[in-house]
Amino acid sequence: MNYLDCWDVSANDFPTGCDKLEQIKFLLRYAILAPSNHNTQPWLFEVRGGEVAIIADRTRTLPVSDPDDRELFISCGAALFFLETAARAFGFDVSIRRFPQQHDPDLVAVVEIGKRSTKRSGRPELFEAITSRRTNRSKFSDNQLSPASESAIEAATSANGVRATWINSRNDRVTLAHLIGLADRAQFEDRAFRKELSSWVNPDRASEPDGLPAKSIGFDSPWNYVAPLLIRTFDLGPGKSRIDEALIQSSAAIMVLSTGFDKPIDWVRTGDALAAALLTAESQGVNASYLNQVCEVEDTRFRLAKIGTVQGYPQLVLRLGYGIPVAPTPRRPLDSVIRIRADAA
């Protein structure tokens, strides 16, 4: 089975004459293209009539690198934004209730897919960007972001209590590079981290429905075949920290997303903001990738909060710029992430 087929979804195939259930299933083909930590895709979509419940799938956690499920909820927040963007692009009214049931911490959101009109709403350019967006880990060129791109990305990101801070000064970049190096080394020194990461790395790009294709994280052929073994066995931290330092210096822009509080609702909002940032960047021809190890190690996360004008709890570090085209990553088939409630219309 080729788990890359999911990227071939086209707006022209929207099932106009079909019932609401088929239309919602079509919208979910866009939601599953959201990014997630280690490509775990930790979400379930329960269709309940005209509503979609987004449920955190706690069977797909990363206990070592994400012990509080913080990045898991960020990923679910990104899927929520992708679903909302697709629904609005096809003219549906959308209303969202985040964490609607106090007794159910896994119920991230209920998205009501309301009446459909022929008028598209939302931001069509963000919808168009869903199928071409990728995490781009290549070295970026020297070209700077245009002020228009920079402010569009910042505006898209800073909403609902999420703050975007650019790391511009040389000093701040040097400090950030140092912290990222520390985080890389701390993670790879830990056998449990290496075991967890290696279990999510796949030699081949399309043969598994989830996880990180080795090539996408820098293991070119023939090393891709032994990547899981190499990661599990050796401490690759020193080498990785050198690569990441170079990536920081070569990035046109670096942005930190932070929040005033550090609860699941803040993480889901961060996912919303992340998705808006990534789709806006893509619509402007700007590539993005992450340097999030610094937020995954407690000590470096704490120190990151003191760099430049970063405030509150750092949630994500993104680098932005112009890289070389990269291939898409696989997704789980839609059927394995959807549940249809019997009363679905």
Interaction site with ligand FMN (CB under 6 A): 35-39, 71, 74-75, 78, 134-135, 137, 212, 289-290, 292-293, 329
CB of 35 to ligand FMN, least distance (A): 3
CB of 294 to ligand FMN, least distance (A): 8
Are 34 and 328 a contacting pair, CB within 8 Å?
no
Pick between residue 23 and residue 258 the one whose CB is nearest to ligand FMN.
258
Residues in the chain: 345
Residues 299, 239: contact at Cβ < 8 Å? no
Rounded to a whole number of angstroms, the minimum distance from the CB of residue 117 to ligand FMN is 31
Residue type, 15: P
| Closer residue to ligand FMN in complex, CB, 38/269 | 38
Q: Which residue, 134 or 194, is less far from ligand FMN as judged by CB?
A: 134
At its nearest, how many Å lie between ligand FMN and the CB of residue 245?
15
Minimum distance of ligand FMN from residue 74's CB (angstroms): 4
Residue 135 or 224: which CB sits closer to ligand FMN?
135
Q: How far apart are CA 227 and CA 98, in angstroms?
A: 39
Residue bearing tokens 């610094």: 294
Q: CA 206, CA 113: separation in Å to the nearest integer?
A: 32
**Tokens 């911490």 appear where?**
105
The residue of the chain with the least Cβ separation from ligand FMN equals 35
Taking CA atoms, 225 is separated from 4, 9, 124, 203, 219, in Å, by 19, 30, 40, 5, 9
Contact 228, 199 (CB under 8 A): yes
Structure tokens at 59: 């069977």
CB of 135 to ligand FMN, least distance (A): 4
For ligand FMN, give the closer residue by CB, 69 or 92. 69
Q: Which is nearer to ligand FMN, 137 or 178 (CB)?
A: 137
Partners of 318 in the β-ladder:
255, 290
